[in-house]
A and B are shown apart, each in its own frame.
Chain A
Amino acid sequence: MHELAITESILSIALDHAGRCGATRVTDLNLVIGQLSSIVDDSVQFYWDIVCKETICEGAVLHFERIPAQMVCLNCDHTYAITRGLEACPQCESFHVRVHAGEEFRLESIEVEMAERGL
C-alpha cells in the first residue's frame, strides 16, 4: 500500500515543475521505473486518479517506462539480464553479482499546456 505515499510524491514533484514554468495544465507524466522497484503500475494509477483531482494535473495520463533488471558479475564483469528472479552469472556461474540496472524510480518529464502569451 506504499503506492499511495509514492503517488502523492509524484503529484508533488509534477506540480512543483509545472508551477515553475507557469503551466496551466499537465497532460502527461513520463515515469521511468526499474523492474526491481516494488511498484505496481495499476496501483499507482488507481491512487493517481484520486490524488490528482482539483489540481492542474487532473486527468493527466501516466506513462510507465519499465527498465529491465540487469546484473553485473563481480567476478568476470559480464553483464546479463535477469528474468526469473535471482540467477548466477551465466558466464562463470559466480553468485557474486551486483544490480546494474532496474532500480530506476524517477519522474523523467511532464507534458504541459501553457497559456497563450498576450500581445
Chain B
Amino acid sequence: MNRMTVPVVEEILSANDSLAALNRQKLDDARVLGMNIMASPGAGKTSVILRTIEALKEQLQLGVVEGDTAAVTIDADKVIMAGMPAVQINTGGQCHLDAVMLGKALPALPLDEIDLLIVENVGNLICPHSFALGTHFNVVIASVPEGDDKPYKYPNIYRGIDALILNKMDLLPYIDFNEAYFRRGIEILNPGVDYFPLSCTTGEGVAEWANWMMDRVKRYRSGLA
C-alpha cells in the first residue's frame, strides 16, 4: 500500500464563495445593489426594512428577501403589504442563509425592476457571518435592550460591516446601556464605520439612515455607468 500526502490548501467555504460570486453577477447584470442585514432575533430587522421602504419608496424600487428558520411568511407579508416585492426563504431549521439559498430566491423577484435588494438574514449573531451571500455590503442592526456588551461577546458578526444601526433609541432612558462603551467595541472592529442610532417607533434617525442608503445606491449606479 502506498501512502502519500496530498496538498489541498482550499478554503473550506470555497463552494459557498463561488456561488456567492454568481449571485453577485446576477445582481450586477440587473444593476441591483444588494444589502445583507444581520442581527439577533428581535433587534428590529423587519421594522428597519419597513421604515426604509417608507422613506425611499418614492425614489427607489426595493425588493426584499426574508430569511427565517420556520415555515412562516410573517415578515414577507409585511413587506408586500408595504407595497414592495418580497420572497420568503425558509431555511428548514438552518441558522443562517447561504449563497445557495439566496441563489434559489433571486429568480422569484423581478430583478430588472429593483434598485435595492435587502436580504434579511436569519436572526442570529454567530453563523450568518461565515457565509457570504454575494450581496454588495453588510449591515448589522443592534438594539438598546440587547445590552452594550454585544460587540465584545459576538465580535465576528460586527467585524467587516459597512454600517451599524443601533435601534430602539427611544428606550435609552429606561435601560442601563452605555453608548460610549458600545461604540468603542464597534470602533475596534471597524474603525470609522458609519453609525446610525435610530428608533423605528418614533422615527428618530431614520432620515439619516435612508439618506446613507440612497447615497450608496447613487454611488453604485455611477460606478457601473
- CB-CB < 8 A to A5: which residues of B? 94, 98, 131
**Which residue of the partner chain A has the closest CB to B184?**
A95
Judging by beta carbons under 8 Å apart, are B156 and A38 in contact? yes
Judging by beta carbons under 8 Å apart, are A114 and B188 in contact? no
Bound-state CA distance A60–B136 (Å) is 38
B183 to chain A, nearest CB (A): 10
B106 to chain A, nearest CB (A): 20
Q: Would you call A105 an interface residue if the criterion is a C-beta within 8 Å of the partner chain's C-beta atoms?
A: yes
- CB-CB < 8 A to B156: which residues of A? 36, 38
**Which residue of the partner chain B has the closest CB to A96?**
B191
Interface segment, one of B3-11, B59-67, B165-173, B215-223:
B3-11
Judging by beta carbons under 8 Å apart, are B9 and A114 in contact? no
Q: Is the interface of A mostly helix, strand, loop or mixed?
A: mixed
Residue of B6, B95, B151 with most partner-chain A CB within 10 A:
B6
Check A116/B12 contact, CB under 8 A, given A2-B130, A86-B151, A86-B185.
Answer: no
- CB-CB < 8 A to B184: which residues of A? 95
Q: Would you call B187 an interface residue if the criterion is a C-beta within 8 Å of the partner chain's C-beta atoms?
A: yes
Bound-state CA distance A82–B8 (Å) is 29
Judging by beta carbons under 8 Å apart, are B4 and A112 in contact? yes
Q: Which residues 71-111 in A have Cβ within 8 Å of B in the complex?
A: 74, 85-86, 88, 95-99, 105-111
Q: Would you call A41 an interface residue if the criterion is a C-beta within 8 Å of the partner chain's C-beta atoms?
A: no
Q: What 1/0 mask marks residues of chain A from 1 to 25 whose CB sits below 8 Å from any chain B CB?
A: 1100110011011100110010100
Besides the known contacts A2-B95, A106-B10, A110-B5, 15 further A-B residue pairs in the complex with CB atoms under 8 A apart: A1-B95, A6-B13, A9-B15, A21-B6, A31-B12, A36-B156, A37-B130, A86-B185, A106-B12, A107-B12, A108-B9, A109-B6, A109-B8, A112-B5, A113-B2
